[in-house]
Amino acid sequence: MKFEHLIEINDPLNPLIDELSHEQLWRGLVLRAESPKLFVPHLDECQIADRQENSFSRKLRYGELVIADKVLLDPMRRVRYEVAPQQDISASSLTMTIETPQPGTLWVRFEYDDGHDAATDQANAMYDEFRKSAYQESDIDTIRVLRDLAEQGRLDSLLN
């Protein structure tokens, strides 16, 4: 299943939306990767290892399930999560890209790829609709948390 959607961050025509700067949005997306428990309440533990300038590896524990992934950072532009195949989990990825189609606007494009071929996608079509909906709700919640953190001033300084 390949799935993507956009979430609008800033709309100069909508004064009801609190604006985030490009830098605040970037810091928030990186924070989601480095401190996922702020965004995923049912995550029990996150261990970060193999930190490089623009990437790091993580082990995420949800009860007995442990998922290893790699986070790739394209500074101020994109955060990509890559899950290699492991146990009963197939390879998959999530890419979050900051887009500025017009001055004053800011969007995040969320792109999911579960690594399945077209035949598997066809067999899972009904299930995938539920997953798409869950992904979209999770992403909306991510932006809500980012807005809350920005309001608290927690996205105004450089990250460690």
24 three-class SS: helix
pTM of the predicted model as reported, rounded to 2 decimal places: 0.91
Taking only the tens of pLDDT, the chain with its 160 residues reads: 899 999 999 988 888 888 999 999 999 999 999 999 999 989 999 999 999 999 999 999 999 999 999 999 999 999 999 999 998 888 999 999 999 999 889 999 999 998 877 666 676 777 888 989 999 999 999 999 999 999 999 998 765 4
HSE-up (13 A, CA, CB side) for residue 47: 8
Domains of the chain in start order, with CATH, are 2-38+75-151 (3.30.530.20)
Instruction: Please give the pLDDT value at position 160.
Output: 44
Instruction: Please give the pLDDT value at position 121.
Output: 63
Strand order in the sheet with 45-49: 2-10, 106-113, 92-99, 78-83, 65-74, 55-62, 45-49
- What's the CA gap between 72 and 134, in Å, rounded? 23
**Pair of tokens at residue 132:** 């798409």
